[in-house]
Amino acid sequence: MHNATLKSYITGFILSIILTLAAYLAVMNHMFDGGVLLTIILFFAFLQMLVQLVFFLHMAKESRPHWNLVMLLSFASVIFIMVVGSLWIMHHLNYNMSPMQMNNYLLKDEGMRK
């Protein structure tokens, strides 16, 4: 935090506003199709997280050894496994276990009827 400068905060603030508005406008105007739109706004969110980590929390200016960064990355890997794993498992659980949903999926994805 000690190497903070005004310029860094202003840059971060402006970039954050731009990324927020870009994601917002893309959604409000339905600029892209479902999957592409989701990928784009998630990418903007990720980018804004990096912007705030660098310009607000000054992660890039941390002196060696980069313990804060190491903690962030190890927690990020745990979070990735937990979130992606939960979604993956629960999606397949829905797909395979619930009779009503399974019919919907079969109808929608495979073009089959019960």
Partner 1 sequence: MRKTNHELTQHEIESNDKVHFGFWVYLMTDLLMFAALFATFSVLRNNTFGGISMKDIFDGPFVLTETMLLLTSSFTSGLAMLYALGKNKKMTLIFLALTFLLGAGFLGMELNEFAKLFAEGNTPQRSAFLSSFFTLVGTHGLHITAGLLWLTVCMALVRSRGLTNNVISKLTRFSMFWHFLDIVWIFIFTIVYLMGHA
CA within 13 Å, CB half, 68: 11
Three-state secondary structure call for residue 29: coil
Contact predicate 18/4, CB 8 Å: no
Q: Is 112 in the site for partner 1 (CB under 8 A)?
A: no
Q: Is 65 in the site for partner 1 (CB under 8 A)?
A: no
> How far apart are the C-alpha atoms of 93 and 50, rounded to whole Å?
34
Q: Which of 54, 61, 64, 67 binds partner 1 (CB under 8 A)?
A: 67
Sign (positive or negative) of CA dihedral 12, 13, 18, 20: positive
Q: Is 52 in the site for partner 1 (CB under 8 A)?
A: yes
Least distance CB 95 / partner 1 (angstroms): 13
Binding site for partner 1 (CB under 8 A): 1-2, 4-6, 9, 12-13, 16-17, 20, 23-24, 27-28, 30, 34, 37-38, 41-42, 44-45, 48-49, 52-53, 56-57, 67-68, 71-72, 75, 78-79, 82-83, 86-87, 90
